[in-house]
Amino acid sequence: MHDNNAGNNIVNNEEINFTENTAAEYSADQIEVLEGLDPVRKRPGMYISSTSIRGLHQLVHEIMDNAVDEALAGICTDIFITIHADNSVTVSDNGRGIPVGMHKTKGVSALQLVYSTLHAGGKFGGDNSGYKVSGGLHGVGAAVVNALSTECIVTVKREGKIHQIKFSRGDLVSPLAIIGDSDETGTTVHFKPDPEVFEDIVFDFDTLKQRVRETAFLTKGLSLTLKDERQDPEMERTYLYKGGISEFVEHVNKNKTPIFDKIFYTEAVREDIHVEVALQYNENFTETTYSFVNNINTIDGGTHMVGFRAALTKTINDYGRKFGLLKENDKNLSGDDVREGLTAVISIKIQEPQFESQTKVKLGNSIARTAVESVMNEYFKYFLEENPAIGKSIIDKALLASRAREAAKKARDLVLRKSALEGNRLPGKLADCTEKDPAKCEIFLVEGDSAGGSAIGARTSKTQAILGLRGKPLNVEKARFDKILENEEIRAMITAIGVGIKDDFDIAKLRYHKIIIMADADVDGEHIRTLLLTFIYRFMPQLIDDGYVYIAQPPLFKIEHRRQIKYAYSNDEYQRLIKEYPPDARPTVSRYKGLGEMNKEQLWETTMDPERRVLKKVTIDSHFEADDIFTRLMGEKVEPRREFIEEYAATVRELDF
């Protein structure tokens, strides 16, 4: 496919000394003690994202990230992660081993300090003496994991010996001791999440797998193996990408059609920031750019993205002018023009990342903008000049995008003028609610006019709005922007939801804090849900990130016995409920094929009543996985869709995007 390692390749040979080991003088004394672990157990939510399954997985990430930091220091080459049958986890690396020496004044080992205090030491301190790079919980990850585990055993091979220490819920149960000899080095951490803390203690292999693979892409040459001993036969996957983020781009474009084979890749250090960029264009219209800071996915971008975008636009325009591909009376290509069909990965490593908010990740350091911009300006220019055919194909694509954008703008102006003329900006088929506070309002996007009608009859009109949608919604994955805007149902959704789309998106204008997709519980309904989710994901992804999008769950069965009605929302629930009746009972069972089969009372009590309904919240664990799923499932190519369906045929009803 691409050859980013041969001949006139694009990798510059600037010396990379960022990850050089500066921990040589590291000693146990450089770790400062701040406080014990009680606060973590009292308020786990302050230290991990949540105590749900997301927080559970974060424990693995924290321990894994520590081992990856050791790899970034240039020492560790292999990391093994094992999920055991009892849902405990072992993470082991072949790095130098966590220091076991005694701290001069505290009288305990560095290892014990790292695991039992919310310290500000070593790599976490600002004195540059330990690691240069760390993301996550500013280095307190190990202690947090320890505090939230019923059992935590750390084994270190170092200085010819095997050392081991054991904790339970953060308390020392077995002090650091030498348990054997070894001429190897490395750290092994075994922990079992505390069921008193976590709502769910069963790890999901696929979720962990995604993160492990992402980490492998971001750390070229590091081998990460994930093993699941709960499965039979044992499941094991090893991820090792010599090409790093180039292979990441290749992977993202795997089910798209690249417009040229080569992948641009550059790696350089500027302002003490390690910058890596890889990119390639494909025939689609959407942009897929992932940015990372110290291996953390900055889903809201930030300064590094700003620098990247500025340089991309400038370099392409300069190139187009210099080689006459943009004519004198052509306007400059806009940022949107040059990003259509772009797949890019930007990964930087910076000493003290500043994030703008706690929950969402957006980089704030302004120096990162300068660093990425300067690296891109220099090396992407070389790339275009050395590959004129590629340069021309990029300019041609951007020119097409520019023309389509002009056409779309005209179409949109027309739409706006039309709705201005109509006086009422809200679509006619929206049965709006009367409440004005968006936080109290919800909108149901309902499949089919007749179901829309029942929903209008069933709703609480103060807080619940209904938008009935006619026919199958448009597949935005396969349509051009101007065509999408011409679609009446799409326009109705845009105006009703209120936030605008893409660049005009403004979350402050959101009119409902719950956007609920309500479709039949059958395959057709599944298709409609997917089409609507594709639209929301591509045009208003922040609605999903911020947790405003839900899926209504109509029941599959009604079970009636002596005027007592029960509803079952899945086949399993049906089996369970039916067994609860005495053997001689003969309950009447009806299977609902669609929303239309319920009368308005039934629709209300099973699916719409906030007190009784069960909504599924739509969440995205990994944008990179979500993009892949939408591309495969909804995109132009047939083969990836077939593979997807085969892969998920058994589980597709359980899919969470």
Q: Which residues bind ligand 0RA (CB under 6 A)?
A: 23-24, 26, 66-67, 70, 93, 95-99, 122, 130, 187
Strands (E), 202-272: 223-228, 235-239, 264-270
Tokens of 98: 């966590």
Eight-state DSSP code of residue 302: B
Tokens of 575: 């089996």
Active site residue ranges: 447, 520, 522, 524
Selection from 481, 482, 490, 478 nearest residue 411 by Cα: 482
d(CA 354, CA 466): 42
Q: Report the nearest approach of ligand 0RA to the CB of residue 75 (Å).
A: 8
d(CA 497, CA 513): 9
Q: Report the nearest approach of ligand 0RA to the CB of residue 219 (Å).
A: 14
Q: Report the nearest approach of ligand 0RA to the CB of residue 31 (Å).
A: 9
Quick one: 141 or 448, whose CB is closer to ligand 0RA? 141
Quick one: 123 or 397, whose CB is closer to ligand 0RA? 123
Quick one: 55 or 122, whose CB is closer to ligand 0RA? 122
Q: Please answer whether residues 648 and 640 qualify as being in contact, where contact means their C-beta atoms are separated by less than 8 angstroms.
A: no
Quick one: 72 or 533, whose CB is closer to ligand 0RA? 72
Quick one: 95 or 243, whose CB is closer to ligand 0RA? 95
d(CA 139, CA 131): 10
Q: Report the nearest approach of ligand 0RA to the CB of residue 97 (Å).
A: 6
Tokens of 166: 């054991």
Length of the chain counted residue by residue: 657
d(CA 264, CA 277): 8
What's the distance, Cα to Cα, between the start and end of the chain in Å? 30
Task: Starting at the earlier edge strand, list the strands of the sheet with 78-83.
Answer: 171-181, 161-168, 149-158, 186-193, 89-93, 78-83, 223-228, 235-239
d(CA 104, CA 92): 28
Q: Report the nearest approach of ligand 0RA to the CB of residue 166 (Å).
A: 17
3-state secondary structure of 186: strand
Q: Please answer whether residues 88 and 79 qualify as being in contact, where contact means their C-beta atoms are separated by less than 8 angstroms.
A: no
Tokens of 34: 């701040």
Q: Please answer whether residues 242 and 222 qualify as being in contact, where contact means their C-beta atoms are separated by less than 8 angstroms.
A: no
Quick one: 159 or 229, whose CB is closer to ligand 0RA? 159
Q: Report the nearest approach of ligand 0RA to the CB of residue 592 (Å).
A: 53
Q: Report the nearest approach of ligand 0RA to the CB of residue 64 (Å).
A: 9
Q: Report the nearest approach of ligand 0RA to the CB of residue 105 (Å).
A: 18
CA dist 356 → 136, 272, 299, 363, 509 (Å): 14, 21, 12, 6, 22
Q: Please answer whether residues 296 and 58 qualify as being in contact, where contact means their C-beta atoms are separated by less than 8 angstroms.
A: no
d(CA 378, CA 384): 11
d(CA 617, CA 614): 10
Residue type, 476: V
Quick one: 27 or 419, whose CB is closer to ligand 0RA? 27
Tokens of 183: 């001429």
Quick one: 62 or 628, whose CB is closer to ligand 0RA? 62
Burial class of residue 475 in the structure, from the number of CB atoms within 10 Å of its CB (0-12 exposed, 13-18 middle, 19+ buried): middle
Q: Report the nearest approach of ligand 0RA to the CB of residue 288 (Å).
A: 32
d(CA 79, CA 67): 7
Pairing of strands 273-281, 288-293: unpaired
Give one word for 279, left, alpha or beta, with left for phi > 0 and alpha for psi -120 to 50: beta
d(CA 472, CA 478): 14
Q: Report the nearest approach of ligand 0RA to the CB of residue 17 (Å).
A: 17
Q: Please answer whether residues 455 and 444 qualify as being in contact, where contact means their C-beta atoms are separated by less than 8 angstroms.
A: yes
DSSP string, 100-144: -PBPTTT-SBHHHHHHHS----GGGSTTSSS-S---TTTT-HHHH
Residues pairing with 93 in the sheet = 79, 187
Q: Report the nearest approach of ligand 0RA to the CB of residue 242 (Å).
A: 23
The values of phi and psi at residue 484, to 5°, are -60, -45
Quick one: 75 or 148, whose CB is closer to ligand 0RA? 75
Quick one: 212 or 603, whose CB is closer to ligand 0RA? 212
Other Cβ atoms within 10 Å of 178 Cβ, number: 12
Quick one: 59 or 346, whose CB is closer to ligand 0RA? 59
